[in-house]
């Protein structure tokens, strides 16, 4: 069939579909909405999907809810997700759970995720596992995260890794971190880790950074080291800092200096701080200044504190001011 013939048939189909939609045929209305979306007209698409949804088309309800969420109308979106969910749409159940969680209604979110998970929605299993992990219900969290992970869901793999880590089974977690790294985007995994850190969810943050490191994210090693450092796992933190330092990460070098200083090895601490300072690490400038001040080397301390202060670092300026005050007090004591 020639291209002209196909275009003519398409025009006829569109005409007949529009006529059917105008006569109130619900499926035709939904088709008109889909056609409008395909040609990039979301306003017309929304109008047709509203008509189809009002006529009871479950798929149109879900699509309308998605359009409303995309254009920043969460309350209207929730209404139509709820309508679709009540009509048995498992995808809408999962999305409704997400909206409930976003506004802090976690009991409602759990209810909808459970219903969607029972219908086989993998993304709902992953969210349910994540919620249960945050609540400390590790056995059930492992079940749902495992189901999602086994189906290839990266979020499920991350939660499963965190649960396994929390229950002392880090070796079992490692294959899941590697698989999440293979399946997921490295920078997105790092962002997930940062979000978890902001919530002080260190087990999840660790899991995200392990996956990001497996995916090759250069910043993941130092972030993982920082999480382990905060948890007091100093040997493990040092291993990850060393990996990052070998790639030239100044923050990792600075933190290796902190670890060395904490174990009373100022020589090694100074060596790491100097390497980091050569790469422009402001915290390394300040730490070198403090070490010099502790050893009574005023000129070197002044050099490093000024280097920090000259970058606009307020802590460096305070250290410099304190150095001058202390030097002035010692000078007055002599006379």
pLDDT tens, position by position, 134-155: 999 999 999 999 999 999 999 9
Share of the chain above pLDDT 70, in %: 91
Q: Residue 308 pLDDT more than 60?
A: yes
Q: Residue 13: what pLDDT?
A: 64
248: left (phi over 0), alpha (psi -120 to 50) or beta: left
Angstrom CA distances, 259 to 115, 213, 255, stand at 48, 22, 6
Average pLDDT score, the chain: 87
Spatial contact of 138 and 123, defined as CB atoms under 8 Å apart: no
Mean pLDDT of 173-190: 90
Predicted confidence (pLDDT) per residue in 12-46, tens digit: 566 666 777 667 667 877 787 787 778 788 888 87
Domain ranges of the chain: 49-120, 122-231, 248-335
In whole angstroms, give the CA distance from residue 163 to residue 160: 5
CATH topology of domain 49-120: 1.25.40
Helix axes 154-166, 122-134, angle to 10 degrees: 30
Binning pLDDT at 50, 70 and 90, where does residue 73 land?
Answer: confident
CATH topology of domain 122-231: 1.25.40
Q: Residue 332 pLDDT more than 80?
A: no
Give the angle 79-83-84 at the CA atoms, nearest 5°: 120
How many Cβ atoms are within 10 Å of 109's Cβ, its own excluded? 22
**3-state SS string for 140-188:** HHHHHHHHHHHCCCHHHHHHHHHHHHHCCCHHHHHHHHHHHHHHCCHHH
Burial (CB < 10 A; 0-12, 13-18, 19+), residue 139, is: exposed
Binning pLDDT at 50, 70 and 90, where does residue 75 land?
Answer: confident
Q: Residue 303: what pLDDT?
A: 95
Phi, psi at residue 323, to the nearest 5°?
A: -60, -45
Q: Residue 221 pLDDT more than 70?
A: yes
Predicted confidence (pLDDT) per residue in 235-258, tens digit: 999 999 999 999 999 999 999 999
Q: Residue 86 pLDDT more than 70?
A: yes
Residues with Cβ < 8 Å from 224, sequence gap 6 or more? Answer: 206, 209, 210, 213, 240
Binning pLDDT at 50, 70 and 90, where does residue 11 land?
Answer: low
Spatial contact of 258 and 265, defined as CB atoms under 8 Å apart: no
Q: Residue 4 pLDDT more than 70?
A: no
Q: Residue 17: what pLDDT?
A: 65
Mean pLDDT of 45-49: 79
**How many Cα neighbours within 13 Å face the side chain of 313?**
19
Angstrom CA distances, 267 to 154, 251, 261, 270, 288, stand at 43, 18, 8, 5, 11
Q: Do domains 49-120 and 122-231 have the same CATH topology?
A: yes
Binning pLDDT at 50, 70 and 90, where does residue 263 land?
Answer: very high
Residues with Cβ < 8 Å from 293, sequence gap 6 or more? Answer: 301, 323, 326
Report the CATH architecture of 248-335.
Answer: Alpha Horseshoe (1.25)
In whole angstroms, give the CA distance from residue 214 to residue 89: 36
Q: Residue 23: what pLDDT?
A: 75
Q: Residue 218: what pLDDT?
A: 82
**How many Cα neighbours within 13 Å face the side chain of 37?**
16
Token pair for residue 78? 């929730």
Q: Residue 3: what pLDDT?
A: 45
Predicted confidence (pLDDT) per residue in 316-327, tens digit: 899 999 998 887
Q: Is 9 helix (H, G, I), strand (E, B) or coil?
A: helix
**How many Cα neighbours within 13 Å face the side chain of 80?**
26
Q: Residue 188 pLDDT more than 80?
A: yes
Spatial contact of 59 and 67, defined as CB atoms under 8 Å apart: no
Q: Which residue, chain included where needed, has tokens 């309508």? A: 83
Nearest-Å Rg of the Cα atoms of the chain is 29
Phi, psi at residue 183, to the nearest 5°?
A: -85, -30
Q: Residue 330 pLDDT more than 60?
A: no
């Amino acid at each position: 069939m020639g291209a002209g013939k196909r275009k003519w048939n398409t025009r006829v189909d569109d005409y007949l579909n529009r006529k059917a939609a105008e006569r109130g045929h619900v499926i035709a209305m939904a088709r008109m909405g889909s056609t409008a979306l395909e040609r990039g007209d979301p306003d017309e698409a929304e109008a047709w999907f509203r008509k189809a949804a009002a006529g009871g088309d479950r798929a149109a309800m879900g699509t309308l809810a998605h359009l409303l969420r995309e254009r920043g109308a969460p309350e209207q979106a929730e209404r139509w997700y709820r309508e679709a969910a009540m009509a048995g749409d498992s995808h809408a159940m999962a999305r409704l759970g997400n909206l409930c969680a976003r506004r802090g209604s976690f009991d409602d979110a759990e209810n909808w995720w459970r219903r969607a998970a029972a219908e086989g929605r993998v993304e709902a299993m992953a969210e349910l596992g994540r919620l249960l992990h945050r609540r400390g219900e590790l056995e059930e969290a492992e079940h749902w995260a495992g189901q999602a992970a086994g189906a290839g869901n990266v979020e499920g793999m991350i939660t499963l890794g965190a649960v396994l880590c929390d229950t002392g089974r880090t070796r079992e977690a490692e294959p899941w971190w590697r698989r999440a790294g293979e399946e997921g985007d490295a920078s997105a995994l790092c962002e997930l880790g940062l979000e978890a850190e902001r919530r002080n969810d260190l087990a999840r943050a660790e899991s995200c950074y392990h996956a990001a490191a497996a995916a090759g994210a250069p910043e993941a090693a130092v972030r993982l080291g920082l999480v382990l450092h905060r948890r007091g796992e100093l040997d493990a933190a040092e291993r990850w800092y060393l990996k990052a330092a070998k790639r030239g990460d100044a923050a990792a070098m600075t933190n290796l200096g902190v670890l060395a200083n904490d174990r009373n090895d100022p020589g090694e601490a100074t060596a790491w701080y100097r390497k980091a300072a050569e790469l422009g690490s402001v915290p390394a400038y300040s730490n070198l200044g403090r070490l010099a001040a502790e050893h009574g080397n005023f000129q070197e301390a002044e050099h490093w504190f000024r280097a920090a202060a000259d970058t606009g670092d307020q802590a460096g300026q305070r250290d410099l001011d304190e150095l001058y005050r202390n030097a002035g007090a010692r000078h007055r004591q002599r006379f």
